Amino acid sequence: MKLFIEIILLATFISEFLLGMFIYFKGKHMQANRYFCLMMIAGSFWSFFLAVAIILSNSTFDRLDVVFGLFGNAFFVLFSQAFSKSEEKISIKFLLGVIVTPIILSPIILFSKIIISKTTFYPNGLISSTDGPLGMIFYLYHLFYWVLGFYLLVRGYKSATGLRKIHFQYLLLGFGLILGIFIIINLILPIFGIYYLITLSSSLFLILAFFFLYIITRYRFMDIRVVLRKGFVHGVSLIILLAIYTYLTLSFQDYFALNRTYTTLIAMLVIALTIYPLRKWLFRNIDALLFEPEKEKEVFEKFSTEITSGFTVEDLLKRASEAIFQGLGVKAVKIFILDKSQEKFSAVYPENMKGHDFLEREGGIIKYLSEKKDAVVREEIPYLIEGTEEKESEELKALEKELNKNQAEIAVPLGEENIFGL
């Protein structure tokens, strides 16, 4: 059991550190990304020093992991504030107010016994800490900062609209899962004599990281079912990975008769070199085995089916518009077909727009859909612009301008080249 806990903690350390750096480089100009990166790095060293404390049975390293846990909570609050405020800078007053508490508590935890009086290490890998006279301050700190972070996210959710509101839904769902799992492993399972999972609490940061990564790497209007599906597949992949690493580590230790310290160091190296490609391969195959294609792909394939199965132009337009209504849940649909006599795309649906609404052939909407062969959501465009070259950035801005002009939220290619929907 001890070796299993050590492997999980070391795998968590590597995963959280790499995810934190990925999130930083994905949008280092955004303050929310920077604070999330710091939160993940603090969480990774929480796991690292906890693993070292268990390996060496050293209370100093255990106190270090507690300190990094303090800073992880502080950066969670700063991230929640930054994400809620979007591009508005966090005030120095708020920043200092959040960060000063862990700075004050850190030397007290490291060099005194008034918060943590004693640390006991058990052969099965569990750690038990005896609270000092001010031990309750530590628990109140954690509770206050998590409640504050949750409050900031809820406040941001209430004031957000459109795609931004959906982003907050994902984060709040991730926070809810963390809270639920934390309560189960720290309060409920110990009632039944199951204590060893408490040591793995630092791994819970990975759940929030998954939801935030989804936000910054995918911009489709996916429903929560898809997010949960991805989370389930990630969870299954992680369990399989841990089983593989544990089996290999135990076999390696028995075969070469190495002590636990050397075995753990070798395990760290193997995990660092193989976790990303192996996890990616597992995710792809488990996802293909357990689930159907994503919802959005099904919707667009349905468009093509409706286009090719119509018997008359009117029937075709009706079928296509119904597919868009049902698939994307929009309030109104316009369908444009190329009018070669005018070299423009003319509205053919709804009936009252015929001959009254046009899209330029060289305009932003038609050029983008013709090149990308994929739908575009207006609220996604600012995110798509990030990190693009100047030429592509200008094209996206022209696309956004034309969508605003036509009061369109989504533009969809419905045929090979000459049929488009708004």
Question: Could you tell me which residues are beta bridge partners of residue 346?
Answer: 337, 358
Model confidence at 291, pLDDT cuts 50, 70, 90, reads: very low
Instruction: Judge whether residue 85 has pLDDT over 60.
Output: yes
The position carrying tokens 């369990």 is 239
Q: What is the pLDDT of residues 387-418, one digit of tens each?
A: 566 777 777 888 788 777 777 777 776 655 55
Instruction: Judge whether residue 293 has pLDDT over 50.
Output: no
Q: Report the mean per-residue pLDDT for the chain.
A: 72
Task: Give the per-residue pLDDT at 126.
Answer: 75
Lowest mean pLDDT among 41-55, 136-150, 258-272: 258-272
Task: Give the per-residue pLDDT at 269.
Answer: 64
The position carrying tokens 């290999």 is 248
Instruction: Judge whether residue 84 has pLDDT over 60.
Output: yes
CA trace torsion 169, 175, 178, 182 (10° rounding): -140
C-alpha Rg value of the chain to the nearest Å: 26
* Sequence-distant (≥ 6) Cβ neighbours of residue 25 within 8 angstroms: none
Instruction: Judge whether residue 17 has pLDDT over 70.
Output: yes
Instruction: Judge whether residue 37 has pLDDT over 80.
Output: yes
What residues does each domain of the chain span? 2-221, 295-421
Q: 2-221 in CATH: which number? A: 1.20.1070.10
Q: Which two tokens stand for residue 139?
A: 């628990």
| CA-wise closest residue to 117 among 101, 137, 131, 135 | 131
Q: Which two tokens stand for residue 191?
A: 């009632």
Instruction: Judge whether residue 290 has pLDDT over 50.
Output: no
Q: Give the pairing type, strands 335-339 and 419-421.
A: antiparallel
Task: Give the per-residue pLDDT at 139.
Answer: 80
The helix, strand and coil proportions of the chain, stated in percent and rounded to the nearest 5, come to 75, 10, 20
Model confidence at 219, pLDDT cuts 50, 70, 90, reads: very low
Task: Give the per-residue pLDDT at 169.
Answer: 77
CB neighbour burial string for 367-405, b if at least 16 within 10 angstroms, e if fewer = bbbeeeeebbbbbbbebbbeeeeeeeeebbeebbebbee
Q: Tell me: cis bond preceding 350? Omega within 30 of 0 counts.
A: yes
Task: Give the per-residue pLDDT at 205.
Answer: 72
Task: Give the per-residue pLDDT at 146.
Answer: 86
Give the whole-angstrom CA distance, residue 209 versus residue 16: 8
Task: Give the per-residue pLDDT at 310.
Answer: 46
Lowest mean pLDDT among 5-14, 279-288, 397-406: 279-288
Give the whole-angstrom CA distance, residue 415 versus residue 312: 16
Task: Give the per-residue pLDDT at 360.
Answer: 72
